[in-house]
Chain A
């Protein structure tokens, strides 16, 4: 082998050794990166599970808040169903006597005078004409009461039932109206003004959006209850503004200080009394809006009131 060949071979072997070394280093880094990535994926999965748990916790807390109101809401129709049924029971004896008389008439030779006497005796307490009118009203009222209770229970079940945490095309106006109904008992003492436009469907998670709406409504109600010097008012609106859907809840409650405004989206931050709030409501609203590539505007003046607006893109392309 000539000197130049030898030099060439040495250079080649050195270059090959360099390639080997570099490939080894690259493999080490790649393996490390892979393992870090695996660990990261596991952490993301844990976070996802925790987030889902937090959502559930907040949902249970909201359920607790509205349960008392729902009980009251159910009590009203129950009261008039009960009262109507009592009236019906008052008619009971007369109706039974009428049926007996009718039965006797079929196969007897009672004279007209005797029939008249018996019929008049039956309506000494409640005239037949009144009974005829009331029976119709009673039936209608009872039916209406039962329907109202069924509606309340259905709304409550719809909210509390575990949902598939999936995105789908939904009409926000329908969800907003449903949530307003669900919170109606809580907002009873408040003047509620709504301007809910029919808006095009967007691709989002209806369950989380519903929870966000309810959180904003209940926060507004709590803010109003903290301000005792004026008649409480809440304005709820939904409209389409160019490429955005804007959902706003405005109240004339106690309002927020600057410090509170900077912290409202922090998980577990709450200005409510111990046991009244989980401190998760607004962070759930925030994460919902983030996930759907939207934004939140907070306008609040302490002592005057607050307006929280959620902007969601009409395209709804949250993928």
Chain B
């Protein structure tokens, strides 16, 4: 997992709960001496450890926590990679451009980014069907990212997580309806 994801988590925790809390989380996750750099890769287990500790500290279920983090992550990424996000003028064109534009740019910037596979199919003018596939199974994060993107463009959406790998499905699918 790329350091930029950890940096977003760090910012989220420090902004909302303070530096002490971040230090404690690192200690409780056995990462006391860890610092994160955006382009560097870190073991996936470190993210899982942090999420587990945060979930238990806040007494918040992991799916909900990861979803919230995904939403925050979009805001973080849109600030750090404004030029990239500015290439899109609407929520739905950004979602459709994930594979062809955003992931291509990520591949330019990061070595071995291990990106998820995201297939977007337009069902109608206001409906998209998204297939998410990743061995990391971070579909709740993807859900949060989609909500984050919608907020960024001021678009109201209704998202249904139709099938989920956590429920034994082969891959996750989302149906996103633009309601505004």
Residues of A within 8 A of B (CB): 8-9, 12, 16, 19-20, 23-24, 26-27, 30-31, 34
A9–B14 Cα distance when bound, in Å, is: 10
- Scan B27-43; emit 1 where CB is below 8 A from any A CB, else 0: 00000000001110000
Chain A hits for B37, CB < 8 A: 19, 23
Given the complex, which residues of A lie within 8 Å of B109, measured CB to CB?
27, 30-31, 34
B80 close to A (CB within 8 Å): yes
Contacts of A27 in B (CB 8 A): 38-39, 109
Q: Which residues of B contact A30 (CB under 8 A)?
A: 39, 108-109
17 A-B residue pairings within 8 Å (CB atoms): A8-B19, A12-B19, A16-B11, A19-B7, A20-B80, A23-B38, A23-B39, A24-B80, A26-B38, A26-B39, A27-B39, A27-B109, A30-B39, A30-B109, A31-B108, A34-B108, A34-B109
Instruction: Kindly identify which residue among B4, B19, B108 contacts A9, using a CB–CB cutoff of 8 Å.
Output: B19
**Chain B residues positioned under 8 Å from A8 (CB to CB):** 19
In the complex, the 7 A-B pairs of residues with the closest C-beta atoms, listed nearest first: A23-B38, A34-B108, A30-B109, A27-B109, A12-B19, A31-B108, A26-B39
Contacts of A26 in B (CB 8 A): 38-39
Question: In the complex, what residues of B have CB within 8 A of residue A31's CB?
Answer: 108-109
- Near A by CB (< 8 A), chain B positions 1-59 give 4, 7, 11, 14, 19, 37-39
Inside 8 A of A20's CB, which chain B residues have their CB?
80
Closest chain-B Cβ to A65's Cβ sits at a distance in Å of 50
Cα distance A23–B2 in the bound complex, in angstroms: 12
Interface size class of B (residues with CB under 8 A): 10 to 19
Measured between beta carbons, the chain B residues less than 8 angstroms from A34 are: 108-109
In whole angstroms, how far apart are the Cα atoms of A50 and B108 in the complex?
28
A24 to B83, CA, bound (A): 12
Closest to A20 in B: B80
Distance between Cα atoms of A23 and B19 in the complex (Å): 21
User: Which of A9, A12, A23, A24 has the most chain B CB within a 10 Å cutoff?
Assistant: A23
* Minimal Cβ-Cβ distance residue in B for A33: B108
A30 and B19 alpha carbons, distance in the complex (Å): 31
* Residues in B whose Cβ lies below 8 Å from that of A12: 14, 19
Residues of A within 8 A of B4 (CB): 23
**Smallest CB gap from A28: residue in B:** B109
| Closest partner residue, chain B, to A11 (CB atom) | B19
In angstroms, Cα B83 to Cα A27, docked, is 12
Q: Which A residues touch B19, using CB under 8 A?
A: 8-9, 12
Shortest Cβ distance from residue B108 to the other chain A in the assembled complex, whole angstroms: 4
Q: What is the CB-to-nearest-CB distance from B13 to chain A, in angstroms, rounded to a whole number? A: 12
* Residues of A with C-beta under 8 A to B7: 19
Q: What distance in Å separates the Cβ of B113 from its nearest Cβ neighbour in chain A? A: 12
Smallest CB-CB separation from A24: which chain B residue? B80
B54 to chain A, nearest CB (A): 19
Further pairs besides A19-B37, A23-B80, A31-B109: 18, Cβ < 8 Å: A8-B19, A9-B19, A12-B19, A16-B11, A19-B7, A23-B4, A23-B37, A23-B38, A23-B39, A24-B80, A26-B38, A26-B39, A27-B39, A30-B39, A30-B108, A30-B109, A34-B108, A34-B109
Q: Which residues of B contact A23 (CB under 8 A)?
A: 4, 37-39, 80
The chain B residue with its CB closest to the CB of A27 is: B109
Q: Mark B120-134, 1 if CB is under 8 A from A, else 0.
A: 000000000000000
Interchain nearest-CB distance for A48 vs B (Å): 24
CB distance from B137 to the nearest CB of A (A): 27
Q: What is the distance, in angstroms, from B18's C-beta to the closest C-beta of chain A? A: 9
Smallest CB gap from B111: residue in A: A30
Cβ of B15 to closest chain A Cβ, rounded Å: 11
- Name which residue of chain A comes closest to B35, CB basis: A19
The CA of A27 and the CA of B81, in the complex, are separated in Å by 10
- A301 vs B4: C-alpha distance when bound (angstroms): 67
| In the bound complex, CA of A9 to CA of B15 (Å) | 11
Taken residue by residue from 58 to 92, chain B's Cβ proximity to chain A (1 for < 8 Å, 0 otherwise) reads as 00000000000000000000001000000000000
Say how far B26's CB is from chain A's closest CB, in angstroms: 13
